[in-house]
Amino acid sequence: MKKIYRFSIVSSFLGLWITTLFPEDFELFLGFFLIFTFGMIHGSNDILIVNKLLNKSESNFIKILSTYLLVVSCAVLIFYLLPGIALLLFVCFSAYHFGEQHWEENLMSIQNISKRFYFYAYGLFVLYMVFYFNDASVKMIVNEISGVSINQLYTKQILIILGVFMLSFLAVLLKQNEIKLSTVMKELFTLLVLVVIFKSSSLIWGFTIYFIIWHSIPSLLEQIRFAYGTLDRKHIIEYTKAALPYWLISLLGMTLLYFVFKDEKHFYSLFFAFIAAVTFPHSVVMLKMFTKKK
């Protein structure tokens, strides 16, 4: 884990360095490229994880795949018919998923429900940091997706409330010797690094740095360990081969979605609709995976 953390820190500042060298258009292109590669691959192998969770044979593949595609299709439909509600659900699911991925290992010994609230609070805190430093862009995207104009996001107030809850939770854990002070200090430093990145980068590039470096890559490694037992070159290649067909199908789905709705939806709307559609089932699968690991 120390190697992953060092990699994340170095890569984050490399991403920050890119912002000083290239225009925002290049950041946008590179950001979408990374999201459509590493970002989508980390969520493309849910079928493999589900099979591992259920201990099912290959004969159940069609049934599992059909169920998965049905959930994704329903999510896309909800985004089309009720975009405002779907966007809110996307933020909620993503927040919990981000927090769980980041903190599950450190809080594995904690069994009470407050841990679940902390996962949600942490993920929401990261998202609202992104919103805080990109207020105008976020309002524009919300308007494009939902058709609703928002004058105030209340990001500062929400960040304060979430921050107080998170510090209080960690203070209680420290008092009960459930977590090490070094872990808390490391995580506070991580948030400081993210503040610098979000403040210095565009919306998409700042989110890409967090989503790829701090979420997708660690998640990929967790999934490989869970699916194959160990993390080595052979299993990384096996996982990539297994994920490749689903990744290609996801790209095809995104492409079809764009050409079908390009005249009535902005690209941001289609992009977030598709990402949200995949996020809903993926976050549930990862919740089950972490539960199984315990």
Domain boundaries, the chain: 2-293
Confidence band of 187 (pLDDT split at 50, 70, 90): very high
* Segment among 1-5, 92-96, 147-151, 204-208 with least mean pLDDT: 1-5
Residue 65 pLDDT > 80, yes or no?
no
94 vs 50: CA distance, rounded Å: 19
Q: pTM value?
A: 0.87
Confidence band of 60 (pLDDT split at 50, 70, 90): low
pLDDT (0 to 100) of residue 76? 74
Name the one residue in this structure whose structure tokens are 């429900």: 113
86 vs 36: CA distance, rounded Å: 21
Question: What percentage of the chain carries pLDDT values higher than 90?
Answer: 31
Question: pLDDT for 121-154, tens place per residue?
Answer: 999 999 999 999 999 888 888 887 777 788 888 9
Residue 1 pLDDT > 70, yes or no?
no
* Tokens encoding 50: 């589900």
| Top-ranked range on mean pLDDT: pick from 13-22, 138-147, 196-205 | 196-205
pLDDT (0 to 100) of residue 269? 66
What's the average model confidence in pLDDT over 90-96? 89
